[in-house]
Amino acid sequence: MTFLDMLRDATARNDSLLCVGLDPEPTRFPESVRGEAHRIYDFCAAIVDATADLVCAFKPQIAYFAAHAAEDQLERLMQHMRANAPHVPVILDAKRGDIGSTAEQYAREAFERYGADAVTLSPFMGFDSIAPYLEYHGKGAFLLCRTSNPGGDDLQAQRLASVEGQPLLYEHVARLAQGQWNKNGQLGLVVGATYPAEIERVRALAPTLPLLIPGVGAQGGDAAATVRAGLREDGPIIVNSSRAVLYASGGADFAAAARSAAQATRAALNAARV
């Protein structure tokens, strides 16, 4: 199955628009294992097992593993998800952005070493930085488009005087991803939940692309506004929540609490679908 096939299947099977982000920070682990970086795999695997029937995707953030020299634990986690939640696609949140042979190696890392179904990328070096990932047919690539951080305005909200119509930079990225860059139908866009009006603008420019939308939960994005702005019949959305699910409890019941938080977020998203 392609990434898009898996996404559609998981969305329908689990009746869910929710993606759980796996951003393990040992200092926030349950008290009995707090600060123990060698328990990253155990913590994340427990979250996966508690939420696998509630999500349309998982999104491990590679920096949280690499910072603790835990890449081997990420490999084990990817294998665990394949074995225990094979119907749920995995998006490796890496935000890579390089060209040539370096980009080829990053693509190999994401899709061969870790076996991800999709990856996040920075498109600001142009199509050269995207092309190596598209050689992996059936895999997905999400391009940063309109991010939720305040500093995103520094570049993304600037007008391009050299482009017809003088679009904002993020609008230009959306048009390229919907059009000439999307050669094999593999591209999607990352749009922050804190800007629902701009989600709607991106959706107008890219009506069929999957949108990965972080920022619901701890970052304050509104679930209902996000769904109304981004979800269309032919345009799926993947709404990510990380900290609000992972750290719903600091006790021994952390996995059960994560499940309850995921259930509540899924319900809020589904309520807005009507």
**Domains in the chain: boundaries:** 3-271
In whole angstroms, how far apart are CA 165 and each of 12, 77, 152?
Answer: 39, 46, 21
Contact 195, 152 (CB under 8 A): no
Integer CA distances (angstroms), 258 to 38, 70, 119, in order: 21, 22, 24
pLDDT at 219 over 60: no
Q: Is the pLDDT of residue 265 over 90?
A: yes
Model pLDDT for residues 55-99, shown as the tens digit of each residue: 999 999 999 999 999 999 999 999 999 999 999 999 999 999 999
Reference 172, options 214, 126, 217, 128; nearest CA is 126
Q: Which helix (H) or strand (E) holds 30?
A: none
pLDDT (0 to 100) of residue 226 = 92
Nearest to 22 by CA among 245, 274, 255, 266: 245
Q: Which residues of 119-153 are buried (b: 16+ CB within 10 A; e: fewer)?
A: bbbbbeeeeebbbbbbebebbbbbbbbbbbeeebe
Is residue 234's pLDDT more than 80?
Answer: yes
| Residue 139 among the catalytic residues | no
Just give the CATH number of 3-271.
Answer: 3.20.20.70
pLDDT at 171 exceeding the cut of 60: yes
| Mean pLDDT score of the chain | 95
pLDDT of residue 220: 59
Q: Which pLDDT does position 217 carry in this prediction?
A: 61
What span, in angstroms and rounded, lies between the C-alpha atoms of 107 and 101?
A: 10
Q: Please give the pLDDT value at position 195.
A: 83
Q: Could you give the CA distance from residue 1 to residue 97 in angstroms, rounded to a whole number?
A: 26
Pull the structure tokens for residue 109: 């890392």
Q: What percent of the chain has pLDDT over 90?
A: 91
CA 133 – CA 209 distance, rounded (Å): 17
* pTM, to two decimals: 0.96
